[in-house]
Each structure stands twice: as structure tokens, then as C-alpha cells.
Amino acid sequence: MILQKKDAFNRFAAKRGLRSTRQRDLILDVFLSSHDHLSVEELYLKVKATNPGVGQATVYRTLKLFVEAGLAREMTMSDGQTRYEHLSAGEHHDHLICTRCGAIVEFEDATIERLQGEIALRHGFSITSHRLDLYGICPACKATPV
Amino acid sequence: MILQKKDAFNRFAAKRGLRSTRQRDLILDVFLSSHDHLSVEELYLKVKATNPGVGQATVYRTLKLFVEAGLAREMTMSDGQTRYEHLSAGEHHDHLICTRCGAIVEFEDATIERLQGEIALRHGFSITSHRLDLYGICPACKATPV
DNA sequence: CTTGCTGCAAACAGTTTGCAGAACT
DNA sequence: AGTTCTGCAAACTGTTTGCAGCAAG
């Protein structure tokens, strides 16, 4: 799974004439072995933990490459931070987001996807992507007194 | 319609002990008489056109009040800007967004709303709000060569 | 007269960029 | 050797905040 993604990135890099560097390998490792939805800051700190010399700018630049390579998806959160989640070819999922603790749960719903397609058609749009976030309180937070 | 919203804001202001100022009235007028989904910058420019002395900070502060008063909804766009749209009590709609020209078309779909509720229930979440954006190319752009 | 509101400018947070040196091929 | 990539720091963008003066009640 992780190897597949590394291969995918290597193919992308080769096609684009990008060089293979220690930093890019490292950032890819950390990204792939982490849970989804990391902010750049979180990823940067994880990378720095094992390899202090790496700069933030490189993390920013490398994440943009992952997006171009189709490995990652960018999500602009309402707190102004950008988060990156894993993305496999053709796969898509939406999010339940806890507004108290920030937990993010993924889900998929084929019926909603289909209805979205119908709505787009009705308005003459050709859809390239979409984003569905449901905000609320997760079960754990409901059980915990504020 | 516009008067109703002004009343709503006045009631909110009274309850909160806020003062009635020239700037707030002006910004509310401009906001209510504009199309939806304005960025702060756009609104600020419109306000400044008729009343040059108004500062950006006031526009930012006033828009946050509108959100608290339930007149407006904040949307963080992927370009990093925040846009504000009109909001009436209980009303909700989602968006088709053209990635070429930036046009935003609103739609509502009761079935999707219901399915969202079911998904939330299944995961034990209590939903407070949601956001559904469909990104693609609008009919006008499809007809226009790049 | 008292307190909240405004405009300005400075501060901030997240992200991007220019550049000199390091590293890949 | 030639060129890309990196790290640093400075620049940028959108937004927030501190403060002195202004204005509403």
C-alpha cells in the first residue's frame, strides 16, 4: 500500500524530471505513515523530530508536489490552516468534523454522490470535484462534560 | 425583506447593548443590497465607494456581528479568502462553484440533507451545520474557449 | 460624562518566494 | 559541470488587535 504510493510518486517524479532527494523521501515516508488530515505544521514537526535540518518551506513545496502527483488532497479548514489527506486514485470520501475536539471521521455515500451528479447536470455544470463536511459534536465529546 | 433583516439586526443589537452607528448601518445596507458571497475586500470597496472614511477593520468587525446576529454565513474559500453570504433563519443552501470564472450557484436538495442526517446518526454525531460545495465548470465557461 | 466604536497602523498566522550554497545526476 | 533542490530569512496576504480620539446614549 505504502510502497504503491511511493512508486506512484516516483513515476510522477520521473515523468516530470524531478530529482530524488533525501528530504522528499523523508517527507513522503512521514506523510504516508501518518493518520490523515495533517496540517503542514504537524507534518513539519514530525519530520523535524527525526531530521532537524529540514525547513518548513520544503515541507510546503513537497506537499504541493504530492497533490500534483495525485497522492494527497488539500483541504482549507475554517481556522485558516490547510490540511492534507491521503488520496488514492479514483477514491473519494467526505468528512464528519467535530467542532469541539477537531476529530475528523471519513464516510462515503454512493447515493449522495449520485444526487450530486444529478444536481450538476440540472445546472449544466461539469463537476471535477466536491467537498462535503458535516460539522457537529462527536460521540466522545457528547459523553464528556464541557 | 431587507427591512426584515435590518429589524433582525436591530433586535440583536438591542439585546447585546450594541450602539447604532453610521458605519454599521452603512455596511448593513451595502451587504443586504449586494449579491451573495462577497469577500470582505469586495464589500470594503463597495462601502468605501460611497463613504471613503470607513476602515477595513470596521468591515471585518461588523461582518462578524452579522454572523452572530444570524444574518450572514462565513465561508472559507480555498484561495484563503473568507466570503459572506446572506442567511435567513432556518434556511440553508449549498453551492456549485465554477473553478474557471468563480461563479457561485446555489441549490438545495432535501434528499441529500436527509441522507446527511442519517450518516450523522450512524456515526453518533449531532450535526450543527454542514457545507457542500460542488466544483466544476459552469455552462457559460463551457461555451467559452479558454 | 461615560463607555463603546472607529480608523489607523502595527501585529499576527499561514504561506510563498528570492537567493546563495548544497546536492543530485 | 550543470542544474535542481534546500534552508534561511524576508516578503506577502488575509485577518486581528492596541490604542488614541470620536461619537452615541
**C-beta atoms of B127 and A136 within 8 A:** yes
Q: Of B86, B104, B130, which residue is a domain's last?
A: B86
The domain that holds A114 is classified in CATH as 3.30.1490.190
Same domain, A34 and A81: yes
Report if CB A20 to strand C is under 7 Å.
Answer: yes
Q: Of B68, B86, B104, which residue is a domain's last?
A: B86
Q: How confident is the model at residue B115 (pLDDT cuts 50, 70, 90)?
A: very high
pLDDT surpasses 80 at B120: yes
Q: Could you tell me the residue range of the domain that residue B37 belongs to?
A: 2-86
Sorted by sequence, the CB contacts under 8 Å of residue B91 that are 6+ apart come out as none
Sorted by sequence, the CB contacts under 8 Å of residue A63 that are 6+ apart come out as A27, A31, A40, A43, A72, A74, A84
DSSP A136: E
Same domain, B51 and B81: yes
- Decide which of A146 and B72 is more confident: B72
Q: Which of A115, A136, A138 sits opposite B111 (nearest CB)?
A: A115
Sorted by sequence, the CB contacts under 8 Å of residue A27 that are 6+ apart come out as A43, A47, A54, A58, A59, A62, A63
DSSP A52: T
Mean pLDDT to the nearest integer, B29-55: 95
pLDDT surpasses 90 at B70: yes
Position B36, amino acid = D
- Decide which of B88 and B10 is more confident: B10
The domain that holds B41 is classified in CATH as 1.10.10.10
Q: Which nucleotide is nearest to A60 (CA to C1')?
A: C15
Could you identify the residue written with the cell 451545520? B129
Alpha-carbon distance A83 to A96, whole Å? Answer: 15
Same domain, B31 and B76: yes
Same domain, A60 and A79: yes
pLDDT surpasses 80 at B146: no
What is the pLDDT at residue A145? 84
Same domain, B54 and B75: yes
Cell output for B141: 465557461
Sorted by sequence, the CB contacts under 8 Å of residue B40 that are 6+ apart come out as B56, B59, B60, B63, B81, B82, B84
Spell out the per-residue pLDDT of chain A, length 146, in tens.
788 999 999 999 999 999 999 999 999 999 999 988 999 999 999 999 999 999 999 999 999 999 999 999 999 999 999 999 999 877 889 999 999 999 999 999 999 999 999 999 999 999 999 999 999 999 999 998 87
Alpha-carbon distance A109 to A89, whole Å? Answer: 17
Same domain, B98 and B70: no
pLDDT surpasses 90 at B18: yes
Same domain, A27 and A59: yes
Position B108, amino acid = E
**C-beta atoms of A112 and B112 within 8 A:** yes
Alpha-carbon distance B43 to B37, whole Å? Answer: 10
What is the pLDDT at residue B91? 83
Same domain, A118 and A138: yes
* CB-based contact A59:A40 (threshold 8 Å): yes
List the beta bridge partners of residue B134: A130, B96
Q: B106, B134, B137, B142: which to substitute to probe chain A, counting the most A Cβ within 10 Å?
A: B134
Among protein residues, the one whose C-alpha sits closest to the C1' atom of C15 is: A60
Position B39, amino acid = S
Alpha-carbon distance A41 to B143, whole Å? Answer: 42
Q: A119, A122, A141, A142: which to substitute to probe chain B, counting the most B Cβ within 10 Å?
A: A119
Chain B residues within an 8 Å CB radius of A80: 76, 80
Q: How many domains does chain B have?
A: 2
Distance A55 CA to C17 C1' (A): 14
In chain B, what percentage of residues exceed pLDDT 70? 100
Same domain, B40 and B15: yes
**C-beta atoms of B132 and A130 within 8 A:** yes
Q: How confident is the model at residue B5 (pLDDT cuts 50, 70, 90)?
A: very high
Chain A residues within an 8 Å CB radius of B109: 115, 119
Q: Of B58, B86, B114, which residue is a domain's last?
A: B86
- Tally of residues, chain A: 146
Same domain, A71 and A115: no
Q: How confident is the model at residue B2 (pLDDT cuts 50, 70, 90)?
A: confident
Alpha-carbon distance B79 to A59, whole Å? Answer: 19
pTM for the model: 0.92
Same domain, A17 and A70: yes
Kind and range of the H or E element at B38?
strand B38-39
In chain B, what percentage of residues exceed pLDDT 90? 90
Q: Name the average pLDDT for chain B.
A: 95
**C-beta atoms of B138 and A131 within 8 A:** no
Mean pLDDT to the nearest integer, B57-64: 98
Same domain, B18 and B54: yes
SS3 state at A120: helix
